[in-house]
Amino acid sequence: MDGAWHGATATHGGSDPDLGHAAQRDEAWYRATAAHGTGERNVVWSAKAPRRRSAASLAALLLFACSARTPASPPDSVLWPPGAIALPERATVDLPFAPDPDLQVLVDPHPNENLPAWAGADVASSIEIGPERWVWLFGDTLLGRITAPCPGGERYCGRAITETDEADLLRNSLGLAERGGFGQIRPVETWWRREAAASTARAALASPDSSSFLWPLSGAAVTGALLIAANRHTPASGLEPVGNVLVRIANPGDPPAAWVASVRAIPGFVAGVPGGAPQVSWTTAVVPAGEWVHLVGARGVGPTAETVLARVRAERASAGADALDPQFLMCGADGRPLWSADFDPARLCPLPGLPGTSEATFEGHAGLGWVSFRIPPFTFEIRLYTASNLLGPWHDRGVVYRLPAPWSTTALVGCGPAASAAERATDCLRPVFVAYAVKSHPELAPAGGFALSYNGNLAAGDLEQAIEAADHLPAFYVPQMLSGPGSFAREP
């Protein structure tokens, strides 16, 4: 998940979990907290308007030249729209966002006749899989009991989370949404696998081996197939992935219970080494463009993370070829970017101007070009980044939304009673909550505007504290929906 944290497990004596899920920590904090050298893991655990084109629908509008697997070739521009003129480098965009109650009801938990009910999750990536139909990807998922309607006008109340441990934690779930007869998108219907006994829940997307689980982060529909980029984790690896996989769903138009899935490893994954080589992961976003499917990745974690890029021929990715045979955007001897099938993590060419993150969305906008949003580590704000070329340069267009309380609440932690006033004002101050996983949902956006989701979670804590937060804060660990206007000012 975004930043340094995403739900994982901990064992104390081999049985009790210490679960947590905070996003966006600096790399040193991440490395130090993720592994204590004792076998423990402190895991923070982890529709209303005309549609606008998503990244998955740009293929017919983007021209991207072929290049042979060898030798390495210089990159062609990936423009949106073709021939787009970039905004001035120092331009700012006045694009104010606000909470949208009409969109919020689409993803809020709701009662389920067959307990348990879906009670919250993160990731929240939506992918168009057919005419007026979308699938939503969710990560670690809370199950429980939901009460509605509620006094005082709340959309739901009485959220009681099912007590569980690592073995029963639902590592991912899906949602299905479709547009109704009056043009409105109906609320997301969540889904996960159930054993013969309906009370036994299983992840919607199974890992290729029983010793690991998948966190799906991004995806796209490509020539009839659904491609999902996911991190593979084990209980022992905790927060850090042990690999990246591309899940191919051959028949996404069928009910999920009938999906035919195949899983392929994404080459080029590098496990991070504390104090050494940074992690390289390729699951940030899946961006189709012409005959290529681009896999957006991140080198490093936290504030120092960089955005890197690979590409796979769309035909190979969607047809289920055994080997993906990716090309990577590398820096040549002269420092210029080029596509190469020869992978060297030290020579990856980061996209200039675009900070790295573990999950994001990329889309084309007629007035802005390529668009992506970020919540920078240690902040409570959403920033807009734009480029005329997917390969960059990218430009930071400023803050479009500042997160309200309680997510922006801080507390004094980590310092003893002898700490000075200056220390208490700086070193001892830590966020109570974090926000992460900001995603765009073109199908929900007003004409020419944007619809975003983000997640709120504990900055630190265990599963018991997370359940307590869920019981008392209705919005906790439920994607929060925002919308931005279709008209906006650009300066200069």
Structure confidence by residue, pLDDT tens digits, 189-223:
999 998 765 568 899 999 999 899 999 999 999 99
> Which residue in 374, 300, 348 sits closest to 28, CA to CA?
300
Dihedral sign of CA atoms 250, 360, 53, 392 in order: negative
Written as one letter, the residue type at 275 is G
* pTM, to two decimals: 0.83
pLDDT of residue 46: 35
β strands within 341-449, DSSP E: 363-365, 369-374, 381-387, 395-402, 410-412, 429-431, 433-440
Q: Which of 336-340, 383-387, 458-462 has the lowest mean pLDDT?
A: 458-462
Looking at per-residue confidence, does 306 or 37 come out higher? 306
- Count how many Cα atoms sit within 13 Å of the Cα of residue 268 in the half-sphere of its side chain: 33
pLDDT of residue 70: 45
Written as one letter, the residue type at 340 is S
432 has a pLDDT exceeding 50: yes
Beta-carbon contacts of 480 under 8 Å, excluding residues fewer than 6 positions away, are 99, 104, 453, 454, 455, 456
Joined together, the tokens standing for residue 486 give: 């279709």
**Is the distance from CB of 159 to CB of 145 less than 8 angstroms?**
yes
Structure confidence by residue, pLDDT tens digits, 82-122:
666 667 878 878 889 999 999 999 999 988 776 789 999 99
Task: Round to whole Å and give the CA distance between 482 and 469.
Answer: 22
Structure confidence by residue, pLDDT tens digits, 232-290:
999 888 889 999 999 999 999 999 999 999 999 999 999 998 888 999 999 999 999 99
Written as one letter, the residue type at 283 is T
Task: Round to whole Å and give the CA distance between 6 and 270.
Answer: 18
45 has a pLDDT exceeding 80: no
Domain coordinates in residue numbering, the chain: 27-491
> Which residue in 235, 196, 241 sits closest to 215, CA to CA?
241
**Chain centroid to CA 161:** 23
Kindly report the number of other CB atoms within 10 A of residue 149's CB atom.
11
